[in-house]
Amino acid sequence: MVAPLYTTASGLLFHAGKILVITIGLPARGKTHISRALERYLRWMGVKTQVVSLGDYRRKKLGGTQKLPPDYFSLGEKSPETIALRKRISDGCEKLIWDYFEGGGQVVIYDANNGIKATRHAIAEKFDKAGIHVVLLESICDNKEVIERNIRSVKISSPDYKNWDPDEAVRDYYSRIQSHEKYYETIEDRTWPYIKIVNVGEKIMLNNVHGYLQSRIVFFLMNIHNKYRTIYFARSGQSLIEHSYKADSDLSPAGWEYAEKLKDFVLERRAKSLEQRGLNPRERKLVIWTSTRRRAHHTAWPFVASSFQKSIPVSNIPTPPTMDHPINSSSSIHLPESANGNHNGPPMPSTIKVVEKPQMLEINPGVWDGLSPEQGKKYYPEDWDRFTKDPYAYRAPRAESYHDLSVRLEPTLIELEREQEDLLIIGHASVIRCLLAYLIGLPASEIPAIEIARGDLLEVVPASYGVHSHAFHFWDGPGRTGEGDGDVATDVRDANNFYENYAESTKGKRKVGVEQWAAETVETVGAGEVEETKTAKEGYVEQEATATAIASADLLTVTVEEQI
């Protein structure tokens, strides 16, 4: 198992050398989705990886289809002007690849159709002679539903079809596909190592793949898909004993109230999101992952209970599961027809599946258990100094480092890629930091300083060019605001939880947003209601009104906060 930990003088890891992955496939076959997902995974491993997209580069240099010659996308005989334009774009992409390798990069994924055998072999031979390993990656798709979904969700929303009627844009794109089909040549010989993927993960075929890093690429590609799903993140509710890692206490009364609020908000938000896409929330399953800690899996209990009752007052919550008799580690609750039909609240999923995962236990603080950052600095000054210099990799005595946690979470990351249903992860802040950083492509050094506040629901929707990300605030009770009920004051932080405080105190906190990343565009909408930061190095990044993509050759970061 791997996770980003070290760098080398050459910038290369795993004795793998430099690798060029050349994608092959007809338009709308999921090449971009596969390329971006693979880039995200390799970067999380610490491998310097770059996607070079022919389409993005062409849009950046030449604009949309409106500015191109009519024969630009049709293969066969072309005008001298078109030939010159196409050569200019292909040469420009090739230069980007060379520049990245010369700058210390290890893996480049060349995202283009490359459907003609002679053309892709010419590219492969150039880089092979320079000592760069070449792997061909072909995406084959004969599922018409998948192709149609790719076209409508991604392709016609690009600048190529700005201001086009959607149905007309679909017809035009299909004509583009048909022109490529006449000349398309699938991989048949074994000149180069290749990976063939059928229907984005349904089937995979290999030839001459060798070495650790290439094998990891294959392992990752065996687990991906491009079906629409939403991933939600939320912290577990407040427990009776918050400051001790060793204690495994039940939820406090405020924690149970929080769990109810979380259930209501997730179901409402999920139903709204699905209905906007024309999907029935009653027909889709909801999977919930928690750790084996009481406060985590008890926070999921209202979801289980609500499958059978319209609502459960906090004072009348039935006896929850215990550590002796917990929610099954993998149990499905099928909603009775009567409850589903008569439910007056947000539409309930057809099935709720709760899975407890030991890998999702919070980070072990070791000797810092129960200490505040100030106390840790006082009692363990040398460890504190080393920790503040490298909070990701440093391991305190009898503790885990964030690198240890990342290694422990790798099987969960692969399951995250494989999961096809809507997913709610109820976890500890340290775990959510690692999973979120992986999804949005943050560097490892930033993981310990990501703020994950109790009372915020993070919504992530994987897309072809990255992910759409939203953050919704739904809770201001104890454990969040510094104000309790009546005259009882509660702290927004767990006063003696070392790792929580390091990220969430003003001394250590770093928010993903405007101040952290250089931005080309900063836009504020609705008097502070929506804050959007966008950085895109190559070409266009698809964007919606209130959602934004998080992807790019370097990093595109967006934070959207909505007060509910």
- What's the angle, vertex CA 130, arms to CA 125 and CA 131, rounded to 5? 100
Alpha helices in 289-398 (DSSP H): 294-299, 301-305, 337-342, 373-379, 381-389
- Type of residue at 543: Q
Query: Which residue is catalytic, options 111, 160, 383, 494?
Result: 111
494 among known catalytic residues: no
| Contact (CB, 8 A) for 437 and 444 | yes
- Type of residue at 482: G
Q: What would the DSSP string read from start to end of 481-532?
A: SS--STT----SS-TT-HHHHHHHSTTT-B-SSTTTS--SEEEEETTTTEEE
Q: Is 164 helix (H, G, I), strand (E, B) or coil?
A: coil
Residue 355 in tokens: 């899975």
Q: What secondary structure letter does DSSP report for 236?
A: P
What is the CB-side half-sphere exposure of residue 412 using CA atoms within 13 A?
Answer: 27
What is the CB-side half-sphere exposure of residue 112 using CA atoms within 13 A?
Answer: 25
Q: What would the DSSP string read from start to end of 369-404?
A: TT--HHHHHHH-HHHHHHHHH-TTT---TT---HHH
Strand partners, 427: 235
Residue with tokens 């283009």: 112
List strands edge to edge, sheet with 49-53: 49-53, 107-111, 19-24, 133-140, 194-198, 203-207
Q: How far is 46 from 336, CA to CA, in rounded Å?
A: 47
- Type of residue at 513: G
**CA 537 to the chain's CA centroid:** 19
Residue 447 in tokens: 């993981």
Distances (CA, A) of 89 to 69, 72, 74: 14, 12, 16
Distances (CA, A) of 494 to 241, 422, 455: 10, 30, 14
| Contact (CB, 8 A) for 2 and 403 | no
Q: How far is 156 from 443, CA to CA, in rounded Å?
A: 32
Residue 311 in tokens: 């609502």
Q: How far is 58 from 112, CA to CA, in rounded Å?
A: 11
Strand pairing category for 422-427 and 330-334: unpaired
Residue 124 in tokens: 């492969």
Angle between helical axes of 31-44 and 402-418 (0-180°, round to 10): 160
Q: How far is 557 from 536, CA to CA, in rounded Å?
A: 9
**Residues belonging to the active site:** 111
